[in-house]
Structure 1
Amino acid sequence: MKNLIVVLFIMGFTSAIGQTEIPSTKSQIKTALYACPEMYQEGAKVLGYNQKGELVTLREGNNSMICLANDPKRDGVSVSCYSDKLEAYMARGRELVASGKGEVEKRDLRKKEIDAGTLMMPKEPAAAYMVTAKKEDHDIESGELKLSKMRYVLYKPYMSGAETGLPTKPSAPGMPWLMDADTHRSHIMITPASGN
């Protein structure tokens, strides 16, 4: 009998560990909007997770901004908002990850598709905003973040350092720089210096 109780306890404990708590729709939307510029928040479309852990539309939008709620399976908190001109690129990345593709394979497949013209990218730089935080700084019930870090990105394929006048590696705190220069995934990175 004791052995049966121990086995049942271990099974229940392991099952509880394996479960991921999915915040309410309201909480997910609030957290996702931390990454959205204030002028776009009211009309931004928000993607997040249902109680099965599937990515769904939590709120329809009426402007050009799409926000992505935190993936409850990830360690810590990471939310983003981006121009709808980047949705094809972002959605394709999510699709490839869901099908089991690794980071290198995902990058290579998207490059082939962009170069072939089957995956559309914006002709002018399009913005994305990311907010990250530690799990302990996130109130899962209310969706509030106590402490977080912001990063801004401007995507446009095949930008070069010479074309933009930007350094191609970080050179000073808070200074914009061009990451993945001369590639299909080139983007201008702007990470505010600590304390700003």
Structure 2
Amino acid sequence: MKKLLISLFILFLIGRVDAQQVPDKSVQIKTAVLAAPEDFRKDAKVYGYDASGEWTVLREGSNEMICIADDPKADGFSVSCYHEDLEPFMERGRVLKKEGKNFKQVFDTREEEAKSGGLKMPDAPAALYVLTADKADYDASKGKVDNTYLRYVVYIPWATEESTGLALKPDVPGMPWIMDPGTHRAHIMISPPKK
């Protein structure tokens, strides 16, 4: 009985530590929107984590931008913002990952569903912004992040090297190139040189 009580107490403490590691809602919103261009930040919808670490809507939005707060359980700091037309694609990926699917399974499932029309993909190019930093450069108590790196992605489903004139890899740092050409997940990658 004593061992059971000790085990339960340890599990309780671990749960409290995890909950304490989730930044305040206002901090999550403040840092999540940093990935978006400034004009989109104030009215963007923001997803993040509640006090128990569960995925939730932190703020409803009134423009076309959706932002994702940093995952407190993941290494490093990473937030992203994307056009609302990408939401079905992103949400389907979240659901499949939660089901335990690996990268290839997620890709293949979404590819099949997009081809059949079951997964709605954007009709026009749609932007994604990803802002990252080392965990040591993120102060969650103040909502301050330093030494960030911003990269850009433009989803253009089914586009190819031939249809866009984009290379399959960058010849120089910062050069746009096309990744996953000819698939539902085809996108232009723009990764500026790191300082």
Q: Same fold (TM over 0.5)?
A: yes
- Specify the alignment match of 1:51 in structure 2: 51
Unaligned runs of 5+ in 1: none
Separation in 1, partners of 2:133, 2:27: 15
Rounded Cα–Cα distance in structure 1 between residues aligned with 2:58 and 2:77: 18
- Tell me, yes or no, if the aligned pair for 2:168 and 2:179 is still in contact at 8 Å: yes
Q: 1:58 to 1:165 in 2, by over 3 A?
A: same
Instruction: Please provide the CA RMSD for this pair.
Output: 2.1
1:29-70 Cα shifts (integer Å, max 9, x gaps): 111011011000110000000012111110110000000001
**Dislocated runs of 4+, deviation >4 Å:** 11-18
- In structure 1, the partner of 2:155 is 155
- Superposition map of 1:44-193 within 5 A: 44-193=44-193
Instruction: Give the Cα separation in 1 of the matches to 2:14 and 2:95.
Output: 28
Residues 121 and 156, structure 1, Cα contact 8 Å, conserved in 2: no
- Return 5+ residue gaps in structure 2 as ranges: none
CA distance in 1, matches of 2:97, 2:61: 25
2:194 is paired with a residue whose SS is coil
Q: Would you say the 8 A contact 1:65–1:82 is kept in 2?
A: yes
Aligned pair count?
189
How big is the shift at 1:17? 9.3
Cα distance, 1:27 vs. partner? Answer: 0.7
Name the structure 2 match of 1:37: 37
Judge conservation of contact 1:47–1:69 (CA < 8 Å) in 2. yes
Distance in 2 of aligned mates of 1:186 and 1:15 = 44
SS of the residue 2:106 aligns to:
helix
CA distance in 2, matches of 1:12, 1:118: 45
Verify the 8 A CA contact 1:65 1:84 in the aligned structure 2.
Answer: yes
